[in-house]
Structure 1
Amino acid sequence: MAEQIIAPSFPFFPSMASKLTSLEDAIARNVWDGCSIALGLALEHSIPFAAVHEIIRQGKRGLTLIGPISDMAFDQLIGAGCVGKVMAAWVGNVSHGMGYNFSRAVESGRVKMIDYSNLAIAQAILAAALGIPCIPTKTLLGSDMLSSLVAEGFAKLVECPFTGERMVMLKAVKPDVAIIHTQRCDEMGYAQMWGNYGIVREACQAADRVVVTTEEIIPHEEITKDPNSVVCPPHKVAAVAKVEYGAHPSPLAGYYNRDHSCFREYYQESRTPEGFRRWLSKWVLQPRSRADYLRLIRLDEIRVKNPIEAGVRVYGY
């Protein structure tokens, strides 16, 4: 396993250097005990589950998880004992409801929850992306969520200096690391993504560093044919790892669909701590390679079978 490197305060990663590495190395070098991680940023689409499982295997501890809807990724990290705090709008299993590990951890006091709405966490991350310490909003007025955020020091009630209106000022949320999974990327970190972006672009700008897992590594010349699909500035990218089906069991636009059977199995097993440990052993700890993991999946059932090609975009000079 690669030696863990503790992040400097303001890392900068040369845009034209290769960042290609293994998933194991990418996590070992860029996720450290006690750091804050933004993931699940495209909501139910393109969740970097392969990276989540590698974090669990490496036994990271005391993490702060940041995101809107993480589906069951946050729940898995919590169940594995990796998490100390969650800053999110929702944690669970979208198609089957409860996040049982999350519920057990919050109720027992093992994990602290900072409760946001989807819009509020997006705006707090946007503030960090813009390089400002806070951002005005009206979204939480009238909500009891506001009182808890004020009490925790993440929001304040203010008067607009221009209109005198009552407003909320949300404190910027700046992750140490953002982890994303994309359809394509080159070695330098020009990561291309399509489908639902959610707040991927904003979180990549906000974070100190970005780890990219991707389905395909392509030449930079191919990236330049569709520059608008690049979701992250390459100087933010610390590592790029090629991981096939790296978002499974979540869907990835143009590549594979949501694997409902996996979400159903997780729901059934995670209802008890013993069941979760069985699930963790089968899906995370026992597979010794990506090939071993993929053998657990009915790939033919989730591959996109009716691709819809977008129209050709013409660029030039």
Structure 2
Amino acid sequence: MAEIVSLAEAVSALVHDGDTVALEGFTHLIPHAAGHEIIRQGRKELTLTRMTPDIVYDQLIGAGCARKLIFSWGGNPGVGSLHRFRDAVQNSWPVPLEIEEHSHAGMANRYVAGASGLPFAVLRGYSGTDLPRHTGTIAEITCPFTGEKLAAVPALNPDVSIIHAQRADRRGNVQLWGLVGVQKEAVLAARRSLVTVEEIVDELEPVPDQVILPSWAVTYVAEVPRGAHPSYAQGYYERDNDYYRRWDAISRDRDAFQAWVRETVFGAEVTTK
């Protein structure tokens, strides 16, 4: 059953050096506050996995937390490149970064296989691409029924999956809605999990198209208002587009980035309950 703790307590207990860690959220409900807490606690040698790594992963990589990135697309959405990511790959700054690239469909199916207790997933999504030549975790298999050539990818079972959601009740049942990605699958595939939420309430009021994660599927819940900022949380706040634009200039320069980490990550007071 999920335990309600502070963000700092959850990250300290769940995320260890060398772990494989997923921070999932698709444009919406991206767990930025949790990413910053990982930086504050100085975690190193992490394998970061995410379908669409954007600026929170740029921050984690630039802070030296990551040794490897498993992903399907990376960028500052609507703005451009991830400059800390690029610097790590091209110049090994602040530490070398290994990459493992998949398609969106491949990543999603890897999480689904992990959540389903299966060893691998099968899909057609890599046909005609160069990814199988560059990514060792894509294999060609033959369908035993039709003879069709298909791609297989191994299940993805992170040590820790972290997501953000709108609400949880006091028993640790989690409710999210709006634009969602593979948050549910990432949590179910993980060995341990943390859900940060906008608020903890006595009862979860039903919402159209909601996703419910039952308490038994979650390790820790932490109340972190605005924990997805600068991404948005439907029903709570909008996307901070200016933040994404400002990040481009900050992330281009190593000194500017390090100053940002000191002032914003280590200097900011985090509101948690």
Deviation at 1:231?
3.4
Match of 1:309?
Answer: none
The equivalent position to 2:14 in structure 1, one of 12, 26, 30, is: 30
5+ residue gaps, structure 2, are none
Match of 1:8?
Answer: none
User: Cα 1:286–1:224, aligned 2, differ >3 Å: closer, same or farther?
Assistant: closer
Aligned residues: 269
Identity %: 38
Q: How does 1:133-282 map to 2 (within 5 A)?
A: 133-149=119-135, 152=136, 154-219=137-202, 222-223=203-204, 225=206, 229-282=210-263
Matches of 1:108 and 1:236, distance apart in 2: 40
Native 8 Å contact 2:30 2:164 kept in 1: yes
For the aligned residue pairs, the C-alpha RMSD in angstroms reads 1.7
Deviation at 1:197?
1.3
Deviation at 1:176?
0.9
The equivalent position to 1:103 in structure 2, one of 57, 62, 86, is: 86
Report the residue type matching 2:187 in the other structure: C
Matches of 2:188 and 2:179, distance apart in 1: 17
Matches of 1:79 and 1:243, distance apart in 2: 24
TM-score normalized with structure 1 length? 0.81
Native 8 Å contact 2:40 2:265 kept in 1: yes
Moved more, 236-245 or 223-232: 223-232
Post-superposition CA distance 1:127-169 (Å, at most 9, x none): 11111001111100111112222xx2x1211111000011111
Post-superposition CA distance 1:251-271 (Å, at most 9, x none): 111111111111111111110
The equivalent position to 1:123 in structure 2, one of 109, 112, 115, is: 109
- 1:283 and 2:264 are equivalent in the alignment: yes
Report the residue type matching 2:226 in the other structure: Y
Match of 1:10?
Answer: none
Deviation at 1:53?
0.4
5+ residue gaps, structure 1, are 1-14, 292-317
Q: Secondary structure of the residue that 1:95 maps to in structure 2?
A: coil
Q: Secondary structure of the residue that 1:64 maps to in structure 2?
A: strand
Q: Secondary structure of the residue that 2:212 maps to in structure 1?
A: coil
Matches of 1:106 and 1:20, distance apart in 2: 37
Matches of 2:229 and 2:186, distance apart in 1: 21
- 1:20 and 2:20 are equivalent in the alignment: no
Moved more, 201-210 or 159-168: 201-210
Deviation at 1:228?
7.0
Native 8 Å contact 1:43 1:71 kept in 2: no
Q: Secondary structure of the residue that 1:90 maps to in structure 2?
A: coil
Q: Secondary structure of the residue that 2:140 maps to in structure 1?
A: strand
Q: Secondary structure of the residue that 2:219 maps to in structure 1?
A: strand
Matches of 1:85 and 1:130, distance apart in 2: 25
Matches of 2:157 and 2:258, distance apart in 1: 32
Report the residue type matching 2:186 in the other structure: A
Q: Secondary structure of the residue that 2:234 maps to in structure 1?
A: coil
Matches of 2:219 and 2:16, distance apart in 1: 14
Deviation at 1:90?
1.7
Native 8 Å contact 1:215 1:245 kept in 2: yes
Q: Secondary structure of the residue that 1:37 maps to in structure 2?
A: strand
Q: Secondary structure of the residue that 1:290 maps to in structure 2?
A: coil
Matches of 1:267 and 1:69, distance apart in 2: 17
Native 8 Å contact 2:132 2:138 kept in 1: yes
Matches of 2:231 and 2:160, distance apart in 1: 21
The equivalent position to 1:45 in structure 2, one of 10, 15, 28, is: 28
Deviation at 1:279?
1.6
Native 8 Å contact 1:178 1:204 kept in 2: yes
TM-score normalized with structure 2 length? 0.94
Matches of 1:188 and 1:177, distance apart in 2: 21
Match of 2:52?
Answer: 69
Match of 1:87?
Answer: 70
